[in-house]
Each structure stands twice: as C-alpha cells, then as structure tokens.
Amino acid sequence: MRSNTIISAIDTHTEGMPTRVITGGVGTIPGDTMAARRVYFAEHLDGLRKLLVNEPRGHASMSGAILQPATTDDGHYGVLFIEVSGLLPMCGHGTIGVATALVEAGMVPVTEPVTEIRLDTPAGRVVASVAVSGGHADSVTLRNVPAYCDSLDNEVEVPGLGRVRYDMAYGGNFYAITDLGKLGLPFDRAHKDRILDAGLRIMAAINESQRPVHLADERIAGCKHVLFLDPASEPAHTRHAMAIHPGWFDRSPCGTGTSALLARQHARGFLTDDQVLQNDSFIGTTFYARAVETTTVGDRPAIVPTITGRAWLTGTANYLLDPTDPFPEGFVF
C-alpha cells in the first residue's frame, strides 16, 4: 500500500441522504472559529473535499462532515460540512448523521435516554439531543442556529421560465421557496430533470440580481438551494423537492431548508407558536420541525428551530490516495 493519505470515516445516511463523517486523518485546520476554519479550508485544502465527495470515492450528490476539535470551551466537536458544491455554513442532515455516528462509535460520553452533543459549526453553535436506547441512536433532535425570513413575494425574471415569485429564508443556508405548481411542473420524480433545470436557472437569476447576504455574517451569502413546494402541501404538513447547486436533489427533507421553511411559515402566519411542521422530502422521508424560541437576526424577527430526524450507519472506511492515482481530487462526470 503506497498511500500518502489515509482518511478514516464512518458513512451514514439521514433519511436517505449520505453523510461521510470524517473521524481522522485531516488534522486540526488553522482558525479560532469554525467560520475561520471554513475559509482556510476552502482556500488551502479544498482538494481534500473533492477527493472525499467526487467520483470515484463519492458521487454527484455526495456530502460529508469533517470532525475537528471544538473551538469553544464547552463544545464536544467542531464540524465542517462538505459537499459537491463546496463547504456549507451548516447542514441539518449532516448534523444528524454526525450525532448518530458519535453516539454509536462511543466518541462522546453516551447517556440514556438522551445524549446531548454540543457542536461548533461555521454558522454557530448547534446542539444535538440524541434519543438513545440500548446503545442505539434512535433519533436526533437538532437545535439549529436562528432561522429568519429574509423577504416575501420577491419576483425574478428567469430565462426560459419568465417571472418567478419566491420567498427567501435562511436556516443555516439561504433558500428560495417557490410553488412548483405555478411553474406548471408536477410534483413527480419522473419530471426531476425539468425541476432541477428550473431550480438551477432560478438560483442563477437570484444570485445575479437579488443575491442574499446574512444580516449578521456577510461570509454567508448566495442562494444555492431552491425549495419547490408541492402545491398540495398544507401549512403544517409540507412536501417538497430541494434542488441544489450544481445539480442534484437532497434525498433527506433538508434540515437547514426545513428550518428556513419553518421561519417562512411563521412569517406568513401559517403556524402558531410552537406548532409542529411535518416536512417530507422528494423521496418521502420526513423531518419534524418546531420553533422553540423567538429571537432576532439583525433587524428581523427570527426563530430558533428544532429539527427531528433519524440516521443510520452504513459503513466504516479508510480512504486512500496512491501517489500515482491520476485523479488526486477525484472527478465530476
């Protein structure tokens, strides 16, 4: 074996969506906060992300989470979220995968019936409360960073689609929320190519003329996610297809997207106080979301969401890079 790189991982899926949890081999990334480590990693270590998510070790919808020492006194771990489009400030399904892996691998002190794990992320502190029975992580309730509705009833001219109306909300990433029915597209995976194409066009048009910037952290900016609501959705029970840059769908109900949708449902007066939102993914899996606190971000009213979902371990691996491998950063097909 001639590898000059050995990265150890626990592979998981959260309600259908993979998270490759990197447990060793990366070392401590320079930076006092996870936001600073995200910037450093993007500038100096991005080849490692590509190696881990691109083919042949990953695939076009791959995502992962790199464990790091915590950057706060009381944190258990820091986390960097990686996927095919780059590094996310925060990822809900990824956090649920991380928390499940940490419990089942005994990488945190495990208590039953609930193990609380404090994680430092580039978007801020998140807390995962893992329901544990007989050593098994049954489900995870994630207390996310504050989510807020940036704007309602925006319109953007989209080549090939005309004027598209959308709401913009933040839940750890920015989400353009729009009604699939108004685009004349059915909520049906048989039409996924057309839905994805519409999503990519919409995010490009928004980023050109109405690019969102986080009100308290300008390092978080841009729209790489379009949440297409099934028109048959109800205020407290939604179904959606989540189109993501550069061209894939979230298989899970998307934790940060569900947080953004929850903030938007509250801003529209569709939900009362701590009413539970059931949000189903394009493959029919479910997250449950609830606003547990109100707060502000900049001058906007915001909520603190919790998201509940499940993850499962699918494997452990050591990923290698032979110095003669012609694809040291993998490739995109």
Q: Any idea which residues carry the catalytic annotation?
A: 91, 254
CA distances from 246 to 104, 196, 200, 216, 228 (A): 32, 10, 7, 26, 16
Choice between 109 and 284, CB closer to ligand PYC: 284
Contacts of ligand PYC in 69-88 (CB under 6 A): 88
- Of the candidates 35, 180, 254, 321, which one interacts with ligand PYC according to CB under 6 A? 254
Contacts of ligand PYC in 131-190 (CB under 6 A): none
Share in percent of the chain as helix, strand, coil (round to 5): 20, 45, 35
Q: Is 279 a binder of ligand PYC (CB under 6 A)? A: no
Strand boundaries in 180-299, DSSP class E: 223-229, 237-244, 248-249, 277-280, 286-297
| Helix, coil or strand: residue 172 | coil
To the nearest whole angstrom, how small is the minimum distance from the Cβ of residue 249 to ligand PYC? 9
Q: Is 256 a binder of ligand PYC (CB under 6 A)? A: yes
Helix (H) or strand (E) holding 194: helix 192-209
Q: Is 250 a binder of ligand PYC (CB under 6 A)? A: yes
Which of 30-38, 89-97, 232-240, 272-280 is the region at the interface with ligand PYC (rule: CB under 6 A)? Answer: 89-97
Strand partners, 140: 130, 309
Instruction: In whole angstroms, give the CA distance from residue 258 to residue 130.
Output: 19
Instruction: In whole angstroms, give the CA distance from residue 49 to residue 40.
Output: 13
Q: Is 255 a binder of ligand PYC (CB under 6 A)? A: yes
To the nearest whole angstrom, how small is the minimum distance from the Cβ of residue 27 to ligand PYC? 25
Choice between 19 and 321, CB closer to ligand PYC: 19
Q: Is 93 a binder of ligand PYC (CB under 6 A)? A: yes
Specify burial of residue 114 (Cβ count, 10 A radius: 0-12, 13-18, 19+). Answer: exposed
Q: Is 120 a binder of ligand PYC (CB under 6 A)? A: no
Which two three-digit tokens encode residue 196? 């994805």
Instruction: In whole angstroms, give the CA distance from residue 309 to residue 285.
Output: 9
To the nearest whole angstrom, how small is the minimum distance from the Cβ of residue 250 to ligand PYC? 5
Count the site residues for ligand PYC by CB under 6 A.
12
Identity (one letter) of the amino acid at 261? L
Strand boundaries in 89-161, DSSP class E: 114-121, 124-133, 136-143, 147-158
Which of 38-46, 126-134, 210-218, 249-257 is the region at the interface with ligand PYC (rule: CB under 6 A)? Answer: 249-257
Choice between 99 and 321, CB closer to ligand PYC: 99
Q: Is 97 a binder of ligand PYC (CB under 6 A)? A: no
Q: Is 15 a binder of ligand PYC (CB under 6 A)? A: no
Q: Is 115 a binder of ligand PYC (CB under 6 A)? A: no
Binding positions for ligand PYC, rule: CB under 6 A: 63, 88, 91-93, 244, 250, 252, 254-257
